[in-house]
Structure 1
Amino acid sequence: MNGIQRWGSWLLMKQFRLREFSALLGVEDAAGLSDLLKRGQEHEAYADVIGLHALRWMLIEPHDASGVRSIDPAEPKALLLSFVCDGSVDATLDAVLNHRTGRAREILSHCRAFDQKDPAGYLRAHALTGKYMFRDLGPLAFPPRVRTLFSAPSGSSTFRGRVRAIAQVLFLQEPDLEPDVTISEIREAFEVRDRFFEFWDSNAGADAHQLRRSFVRAFQSDGFPLALTPFERRLPNEESWVRRTIDTGTKLQDRTARRAGDGKVRRAIHSKGHGLIRARFRVFGDKEAQGLFAVEGTYDAVLRPSNGAEAVKKDGAGDARGLALRVVLPPGTMLGGNREPEFFHPPRGAEGGCQDFLLMSASEFFTPDVASLAKWFRVRELEGRARNVALAAMLLVPGGVSQSLLMYRALWNRPLHPLAGAFHSATCYQYGPHHLAKYSVEPLDRERFRRIARQQGADALKQALRDSLRDGPILLNFFVHVLRADAPLPQGLAIPDIVEDACFPWERLGAKKLHVASIEISRQDPGDPPRLLEAEQLQFNPWNALHDHRPLGSLNRARWGIYPASQSNRSHLEVSREAMADAAE
């Protein structure tokens, strides 16, 4: 548990204290809260609220240096402690809410293995240091791990003047932390508290089931790493690499906006689109299919084909190409097993939900993970001779040559038509509870695109798309490449090795290619100005997804934070430009 989480938990509890939490939860003490967790489902939204930020502390009794008392795995306290160790939000809350003793023992067993059979040492090191632990929801005065009479501020109004003094206290407690880093963590902790109030106020009266999921996902972003699935393995310093990628991506986006000269603020990558295509996504339904593909049906869909670069270039230039596909699931949609769909980003009101597929013209990504991506982003930030030197240096690092070859192969792409080639998800996704998958889209009639004369001009691909859809409909096939989690793998490899390496070629794995759906595009004008405007306003995100199709691997976990940051920066730049224009008038 990092400093942000400790301070976030403390600030949240400090703000509410016993009276407010009692009113929120309808309980008076820890025993009542324990009963609440056992009862479960009707209070599941509230259980998540405290489960993510406060339950870590308020059911844990103070412990001295002698160690941790023995715990009955059937107690809710044991489940809470397993959440502290394991960090698995969904699995632990499921066990808490349903009070399944067997699952509790399984989680605790996993914790012991995770911590080299020393859970007591783990808890002492990460959760139970010091005497000022929260006890029985009583009045709180001291943040975790601070053993002085100096108490932290109770609100942002007193925050600025006292932050450095607080940092000095924390620095004395944890000499391995730099003071400035500690200050940053404290600032983020206040943001955690503020984001909680903003979230709760904005969702007042919302459906508890949807709110539960929405709260979990919202608070796992930014400072809170996403809980891992059994298929994944976290990178060392992963959050730091994500932050670096976001920072560099923001700088690239700012630079592109300055240089564009047309007053438009574009995406950080795939900035140049070729139009907005409306289509019908027809699912065949199959006994082997999972999630969206398990039940036959037809859905509305939109597609945005694009060039890959952050800068707007002529379409004839070599570049990776992209295809963003959104499938819209109307209210009342049912999945296999007569289940209601569950989304990572729940829909609001009666709008229904959506499943986004972000595809590219290469079957493998050019970096295996977010650490490598952050380094390549840094190279892209450089210019002129400095960039050339950095590119040469990248060839010397382990994996640099193969990554460079993958990147240049992707850039050596000059299609006649935006939909002429195959598009791939490149990264890995969950496919139901027991399978992994990648996705691909291919045109049914490749010969039709080969007969198209190459267009000339800066917007040749946009014009080719408009001409072809004026002539007649286009049909695309949608494939799922399925790999069972228990499938035999090359010697020395495990499933997390495959999932965490976006460069790994799945051809070596014998993944099963299933034709699960078709994309039917009727005659239309995708380059109509209102459509072009709509295309630029759409915000695609791989985490606009069903739980059955969860994005996997460090690159996808990074996208949880990268995409909202890019979209937020676009909005900020647009507002800034509008303000400057108003001031000039």
Structure 2
Amino acid sequence: MNRDTIQGWLRGRRRSDAVSFAQASREDPIVQSFRVAREVQRFWQMARRSVRPASAPARSSEPTPTRYEELTKALELQDRPMPLTKFERAVPDEATLIANMARLAANLVIKNYCDMKASDRSVCAMRDQHAKAHGCVNAEFVVRDDLPAEFSTSLFRPGARYRTIVRFSNGQGRPQSDRSPDGRGMSIKLYDVAGETILRGLEPRIAPAGEHDFLLSSFPVFFCKDVVDYSELMEAVVAPSGTWREKLSRTLKWFLFIARYPRQFYTFGRTAVVRINNPLTATYHSMSPYLLGEDNVVRYLVSPVRRDNDITPWWWSFLFRSRSENFLQEALVRDLTPAPPGDDVVFDFSVWLCHGARPQDVEDASLWWTRPRDRTVSIGQIRIPRQNFLTPDRVFDGERMMFSPWNCLQQHRPLGSINRMRLAVYLASLQVRRKLNMVGP
């Protein structure tokens, strides 16, 4: 207890002693006992206050979404590349919808970061989509020697070879068990590519020279037609559900979306139930359309060149194999282990050509191309050698690496409002992620 506090109390007591003793001689003994008890209580309370440690200040460093609001407000949103190609048509209020989706993606990065930080202080901010990687592997992209001239570009030159990185991932924005229903992703980055990509022309500080990206997923088409219904879907996905009013509002949003867009909701559900046992035996799709040259509209298709013993029926794995939370990464490790030496894992890289493409074929990313003259054309191969890809340097580079559909040459420009939205969304996610992790370009 503080000495000055006690001395002050004693001085006060001495000044009132004469009165106290005079009163005590005239007071009833019971009253006197109550008075003594009250004085003891006051002394005890004062003693507790003097020795009680000061209350700890609130932890201002506690990560909460509110703390990072300024990051979202300070976003530098890239506008849509203009002019549009002859295959594209802008949707109503497109610029506003894209800006809203970019901020939503940034907020998702922040929210997921804060939620994970509460249980693990060492966690880093992750992508708003495809956060959990199964592995980043070295590969080689080889263009076929006999590629037809109508599909040749400055990138797709017959016989061309490119050093490549392939990132396999889950679709969700937060790491979760591989057993959970989810889409699977395959991101491809080519190096030593001649020419400037669209993204490098827009953001030279972010996009290094000589790179070219392809982004693919495990379902053939996108689950939304355009940025209009995508924005309505995301409003339902991220709607709060803490109170009963919020739960009711969220349920209403889902009901309205399903009623207005039944086909999109059906496709959305199907993307999460595609069953994949091994990233190296799955087929991947760009889902959205891209330009090829000047007059061709295509989707990209990457499928494994399988041997008979590479195929395991899904029901066999379901019944007889116990799966861990990271069974997809374990499959990569098992099939790419350097010892004993073995053959490369080979994927065929093809384009799905939309014959006589119209704006409705391009602007509706959920549309299946099934006309008789639509066809698939092989462009080349992706060859993945045996390797150890779980080294600390490779894991770090894989998390820091940037992939964007707009990190491509002009002859391979992304098409449609979904892709125009992805330009702003990917950049917003990248900006916030790097600021949270305090990592520069």
Report if the CA contact (8 A) 2:80-2:420 is conserved: no
Aligned partner (choices 392, 396, 400) of residue 259 of structure 2: 396
Provide the rounded CA distance (Å) in 2 between the counterparts of 1:425 and 1:403.
Answer: 17
Once the two structures are TM-superposed, the CA of residue 249 in structure 1 deviates from its matched residue by 1.5
Residue matched to 1:49? none
The residue identity in structure 2 corresponding to 1:275 is G
Matches within 5 A, 1:456-467: 456-467=323-334
Residue matched to 1:474? 345
Residue matched to 1:559? 422
Provide the rounded CA distance (Å) in 1 between the counterparts of 2:228 and 2:309.
Answer: 41
Provide the rounded CA distance (Å) in 1 between the counterparts of 2:152 and 2:186.
Answer: 23
Report if the CA contact (8 A) 1:316-1:414 is conserved: no
The residue identity in structure 2 corresponding to 1:559 is R
Residue matched to 1:507? 370
Residue matched to 2:132? 272
Q: Which has the larger radius of gyration?
A: 2
Report if the CA contact (8 A) 2:280-2:345 is conserved: no
Matches within 5 A, 1:40-55: none
Which string of whole-angstrom CA distances, capped at 9 and with x for unpartnered residues, describes residues 167-204 of structure 1?
A: xxxxxxxxxxxxxxxxxxxxx9xx9xxx9xxxxxxxxx
Residue 438 (str. 1) matches residue 309 (str. 2): no
> Taking every aligned residue pair, what percent have the same amino acid on both sides?
29
Which string of whole-angstrom CA distances, capped at 9 and with x for unpartnered residues, describes residues 31-64 of structure 1?
A: xxxxxxxxxxxxxxxxxxxxxxxxxxxxxxxxxx
Aligned partner (choices 101, 106, 109) of residue 245 of structure 1: 101
Provide the rounded CA distance (Å) in 1 between the counterparts of 2:152 and 2:419.
Answer: 20
Report if the CA contact (8 A) 2:141-2:381 is conserved: yes
Structure 1 unaligned blocks of 5 or more:
1-187, 196-220, 334-340, 488-493, 579-585
Residue 259 (str. 1) matches residue 121 (str. 2): no
Residue matched to 1:426? 287
Residue 373 (str. 1) matches residue 230 (str. 2): yes
Once the two structures are TM-superposed, the CA of residue 455 in structure 1 deviates from its matched residue by 5.8
The residue identity in structure 1 corresponding to 2:199 is H
Helix, strand or coil: the match of 2:404?
coil
Helix, strand or coil: the match of 1:575?
coil
Distance 1:503 1:289, change over 3 A: same
Report if the CA contact (8 A) 1:249-1:377 is conserved: no
Distance 1:264 1:431, change over 3 A: same
Distance 1:447 1:533, change over 3 A: farther
Which string of whole-angstrom CA distances, capped at 9 and with x for unpartnered residues, describes residues 408-454 of structure 1?
A: 11101231112222100010111101111110100101644434965
Aligned partner (choices 405, 414, 417) of residue 542 of structure 1: 405
Distance 1:569 1:541, change over 3 A: same
Provide the rounded CA distance (Å) in 1 between the counterparts of 2:80 and 2:127.
Answer: 25
Residue matched to 1:310? 173
Once the two structures are TM-superposed, the CA of residue 482 in structure 1 deviates from its matched residue by 1.9
Helix, strand or coil: the match of 2:185?
strand
Q: TM-score, normalised by structure 2?
A: 0.72
Provide the rounded CA distance (Å) in 2 between the counterparts of 1:528 and 1:509.
Answer: 47
Provide the rounded CA distance (Å) in 2 between the counterparts of 1:294 and 1:418.
Answer: 28
The residue identity in structure 1 corresponding to 2:113 is A
Residue matched to 1:354? 211
Which string of whole-angstrom CA distances, capped at 9 and with x for unpartnered residues, describes residues 309-331 of structure 1?
A: 1121100111011100111135x
Provide the rounded CA distance (Å) in 2 between the counterparts of 1:508 and 1:548.
Answer: 24
Residue matched to 1:406? 267
Once the two structures are TM-superposed, the CA of residue 500 in structure 1 deviates from its matched residue by 0.2
Helix, strand or coil: the match of 1:275?
strand
Higher helix share: 1
Report if the CA contact (8 A) 2:125-2:436 is conserved: yes
Residue 345 (str. 1) matches residue 199 (str. 2): yes
The residue identity in structure 2 corresponding to 1:222 is Q
Provide the rounded CA distance (Å) in 2 between the counterparts of 1:278 and 1:387.
Answer: 43
Q: How many residues align?
A: 340
Aligned partner (choices 124, 138, 152) of residue 290 of structure 1: 152
Once the two structures are TM-superposed, the CA of residue 242 in structure 1 deviates from its matched residue by 0.2
More contact order relative to length (CA 8 Å, sep ≥ 6)? 2
Provide the rounded CA distance (Å) in 2 between the counterparts of 1:475 and 1:224.
Answer: 36
Residue matched to 1:573? 436
Once the two structures are TM-superposed, the CA of residue 521 in structure 1 deviates from its matched residue by 0.6
Structure 2 unaligned blocks of 5 or more:
1-72, 242-246
Residue matched to 1:529? 392
Alpha-carbon RMSD across the aligned residues, in angstroms, is: 2.5
Distance 1:526 1:509, change over 3 A: farther
